[in-house]
Amino acid sequence: MLSGDWKVPPRGRSVEVAAEPDLVVEDVETGWVGAVVRVEKAGGMHVVHLEDARGRTKAFPLGPGFLIDGRPVTLTPPKAAATAALTAVRAATARTASGSVAVHGAAARVASGSRIYVEGRHDAELVEKVWGDDLRVEGVVVEMMDGVDDLAAIIAAFRPGPGRRLGVLVDHLVPGTKEARIVEQARSLPALAPHVRILGHPFVDVWQSVRPARLGWERWPVIPRGTSWKHGICAELGWAHDTQADIANAWKRILGTVRTYADLEPSLLASVEELIDFVTEPAA
């Protein structure tokens, strides 16, 4: 039973099977297993797109070379009605990058009085990429603070109150840090508690909130003290890091690996989701 090459399809005549939506097949050559998402014509030939259990999609030439339950099959084009039905179902259940059900055709709301503040541009771009669709539907604007050194003054200048809630996301918010002391001072401001919520994540920089596997690492490297953290990361990746433009390009490459919330660390997800809930709940 265990002898022979597992990549060679079992003996027997290959039968033709229509590549209907959600049919699960295995490509013999690569071992890729996935459900049929769609079939299309490309370069004069039919191509079938298979989605695996992790949501990744890969295209294969339609025809022989597939297995269903270990039996060799030749995939043929699906019936048009089945393809149309799958397209309609997927459109109805489409989700945003944050995992929320997409609201089709909804225009962005006029901005509410409430806001979410983040430390810098990279934080804002990451929140926009994953939660942007949701925030536009809710009418919530994300603004940059350019650091938290003057957090108490920033909050006071916002003038939180009924109808003007403020959620603040802070980098590297762990006990004993400068950020923790600044946040403690800001939280002591009188009469602001019902209208302000300050949360954070434990990462030195928001870059670290991207799962390291997206960059081919098991974990983010530890950068020695005295070395700029972002420059050190770029050096580990073999990317240019001499100028600010190099650092900006590095972030664009990292941000480009983020597809959905599943590519981010849970600690960041929890904080951002809680802040969105806080500034959008009816009492706000």
Closest listed residue to residue 198, CA positions, set 209, 183, 188, 182: 183
pLDDT at position 152 is 92
**Domain ranges, ordered by start, for the chain:** 15-92, 115-280
Which residues are CB-neighbours of 255 under 8 A, at least 6 positions away? Answer: 122, 125, 126, 129, 210
pLDDT tier for residue 272 given thresholds of 50, 70 and 90: very high
259: β partners? none
pLDDT at position 4 is 44
CA distance 210 to 164: 31
CA distance 271 to 202: 11
**Largest CA-CA distance found in the chain, in angstroms, rounded:** 79
pLDDT tens string 238-270? 999 999 999 999 999 999 999 888 899 999 999
pLDDT at position 90 is 52
pLDDT at position 80 is 66
pLDDT tens string 77-104? 887 655 555 555 455 556 666 666 555 5
The DSSP output letter for 111 is: P
CA distance 126 to 282: 26
pLDDT at position 179 is 95
pLDDT tier for residue 22 given thresholds of 50, 70 and 90: confident
Q: Which CATH number fits domain 15-92: 3.30.420, 2.30.30, 3.30.70, 3.40.1620?
A: 2.30.30
pLDDT tens string 199-222? 999 999 999 999 999 888 999 999
Give me 174's structure tokens. 């762990």
pLDDT at position 284 is 53
pLDDT tens string 29-86? 888 888 888 888 766 678 898 887 666 778 889 999 999 988 999 999 887 655 555 5
pLDDT at position 91 is 52
The answer to whether residues 201 and 209 touch, using CB atoms and an 8 Å cutoff, is yes
Closest listed residue to residue 161, CA positions, set 191, 187, 190, 181: 191
The answer to whether residues 189 and 155 touch, using CB atoms and an 8 Å cutoff, is yes
pLDDT at position 7 is 44
The helix or strand, by DSSP H or E, that contains position 210, with its residue range, turns out to be: none
pLDDT at position 98 is 61
The DSSP output letter for 107 is: P
pLDDT tens string 122-166? 999 999 999 998 898 888 999 999 899 999 999 999 999 988 999
Report yes or no on whether pTM surpasses 0.85.
Answer: no
Residue identified by tokens 């840090």 is: 177
